[in-house]
Amino acid sequence: MKTLLFDPFTKKILFLVATAFSVYITLANISRGFQQGFRASKTTLGDERSFEVYQGVPAHLAAIFPPPDPVRKDYHEWNAQTLRELHFCMALNNCGPNQGKVALLAAHWFEEAIVRGWRGGEGVWAVSVHKHLRALGYTTLFSNSFDEALRQYRMFPDLVKVVIRNKAGECHSDPKCVKGPENPSGIPAWKIFDLEYFVSYGLHYHASLMKGKWILSANPDNKDPSPIQYIGYSLEDECRQREPVRLAHRRHRGWLLMKQLTYAYDSSFAWNRSYFSLAHHSPELRGLTFTGGWIVNQHYQWKPEVQGTMEDIEDRANGVLNIGKLDPRQFIEAVSMSKVMVGMGNPWWSPSPYGALCLGVPFVNPIRNWDRKDPWNKAKWHTQHPSLDRYNPPYVYHVHAGDYEGFIKAIKAASTTEIPSFIPTHMTELAVRERVRNLMETDWKTEAAKLLEERLEEVKAGGKAFTFEL
């Protein structure tokens, strides 16, 4: 058989062609034959909530890249894994339907809660938003500043749908951050959404200059219609991990909603610190104890050198018990075994009462301020949890601050009246998921164009308004 002879240049060309063909065949096989090796697929949660396809790194390649280290808890490692997943699915042309849509989570609360396990109110919200972004198959990246978010944005500007961070106005007012004539690769103002746990209309320092629906809130606005965008959170999945305990099987105790001793001393404290021991010995409550898990930190929102040293309110002999700091699982367990959760006045708008209600535990909601001539007019109330003002016994008991008689009456009723698990309809996982989907799928550029027209007319008429580039 005659042997074909090729010059060195031709040999090189043939080698490159063969290599390219080999790579093509390999990728095709990966795409067709290794689908079961991808990390996520179409699944369902409950009966209604389908998860979208999200393609991970192929199984035979995943071993090459170590997953995020659970001890280091470094969000950069999470980002690296997410970018690998995005690059692989784009190269193989098999991304999930939403995987090419990126949300930059630039508020520190996201990485602190999701990567490092922090569970303050903002952390609870961040976990819920992130969970539904991922469940819907979107790509998410963490950052801790607009500088970092800008670097991420410039990697794939057309893929980024939203940049979520508190202090959105920080970028809006910075020509080195926001898109403009001198910064064409900056982040468009309309892609930046202000993360506000409390209801806010953008009047504070570094608030969103876009305002309106570019302000995201964890808590619902009483205004109807609201000018801002309510996203909210849900504790449903977390709560449903255990069945509510029947009232007869719970401990004879009320749970004090305070993770810091400061809440029994600050200006929002609704009761007198003597109430708990007095109530424990009262004939109405029959020895009910007041238990909580709080930290004694003299410097948490407190200045002992000015305000004096806080004495711990624990008094075991008189029914006031502190079982110390709890992790989220222990907290749910402790609340589920209590007959009532008692608000202290702070923390304001805490997620915990919703968790209690989901577990079938009523909440005593302190009324911190009210119209003395019309004390039961809810429109004039300032309570610890404004979103719960609309609900009444046997779920939520509203008590005016300093009203010991009302305090006793509410706790007696709450601790002797069994309630089913309760989740407000706007706080189900399904409801939150749909609001997250709306955030990602709305044509915000078109909405921004309408806003820009209004702003330009305002400027033309001699007024002042924030204008921006689309």
Task: Reply yes or no on whether the pLDDT at 38 is more than 50.
Answer: no
Q: Dump pLDDT digits (tens) for 232-283.
A: 999 999 999 999 999 999 999 999 999 999 999 999 999 999 999 999 999 9
- What token pair was written down for 190? 């309309």
Q: How confident is the model at residue 62 (pLDDT cuts 50, 70, 90)?
A: confident
| pLDDT on residue 7 | 53
Task: Reply yes or no on whether the pLDDT at 418 is more than 70.
Answer: yes
Query: Alpha-carbon distance 27 to 312, whole Å?
Result: 65
Provide the percentage of residues in the chain whose pLDDT is more than 90.
86
Whole-number Cα distances in Å, 232 to 137, 361, 444: 19, 21, 20
| pLDDT on residue 20 | 44
Q: How confident is the model at residue 43 (pLDDT cuts 50, 70, 90)?
A: very low
- DSSP H stretches of helix in 119-189: 121-135, 146-155, 169-172
Rounded mean pLDDT of 87-96?
96
User: Is residue 207 within 8 Å of 194, Cβ to Cβ?
Assistant: yes
Q: What is the DSSP string of 178-228?
A: B-BTTBTTSB-GGGEEEEESS---S-STT--SS-GGGEEESS--SSSS-SS
- Which residue's entry shows tokens 């992790």? 327
Q: How confident is the model at residue 45 (pLDDT cuts 50, 70, 90)?
A: very low
| pLDDT on residue 37 | 33
Spatial CB neighbours of 318, under 8 Å, sequence gap ≥ 6: 276, 277, 280, 281
Rounded mean pLDDT of 6-34?
42
Q: Dump pLDDT digits (tens) for 1-11.
A: 444 444 554 44
Buried residues in 344-379 as b, exposed as e (16+ CB within 10 A): bbbbbbbbbbbbbbbbbbbbbbbbbebeeeeeeeee
Candidates 411, 385, 391; CA nearest to 319 is 411
- What token pair was written down for 317? 């002999």
Rounded mean pLDDT of 95-107?
98
Task: Reply yes or no on whether the pLDDT at 41 is more than 60.
Answer: no
User: Is residue 395 within 8 Å of 357, Cβ to Cβ?
Assistant: yes
Query: Alpha-carbon distance 370 to 279, whole Å?
Result: 24
CA atoms within 13 A of residue 139's CA, in its CB half-sphere: 28
Task: Reply yes or no on whether the pLDDT at 28 is more than 90.
Answer: no
Q: Dump pLDDT digits (tens) for 148-163.
A: 999 999 999 999 999 9
Q: Dump pLDDT digits (tens) for 337-388.
A: 999 999 999 999 999 999 999 999 999 999 999 999 999 999 999 999 999 9
Q: What is the DSSP string of 389-409?
A: TT--TTTEEEEETT-HHHHHH
Q: Dump pLDDT digits (tens) for 429-464.
A: 999 999 999 999 999 999 999 999 999 999 999 999
Q: How confident is the model at residue 125 (pLDDT cuts 50, 70, 90)?
A: very high
Query: 270: phi > 0 → left, psi -120 to 50 → alpha, else beta; which?
Result: alpha
| pLDDT on residue 52 | 78
Rounded mean pLDDT of 216-231?
96
User: Is residue 361 within 8 Å of 340, Cβ to Cβ?
Assistant: yes
| pLDDT on residue 14 | 38
Task: Please report the domains of the chain, with CATH numbers, ordered by start residue.
Answer: 43-234 (no CATH), 237-422 (3.40.50.2000)
Average pLDDT, the chain: 91
Report the predicted TM-score, pTM, of the whole model to 2 decimal places. Answer: 0.87
Spatial CB neighbours of 295, under 8 Å, sequence gap ≥ 6: 259, 260, 261, 324, 325
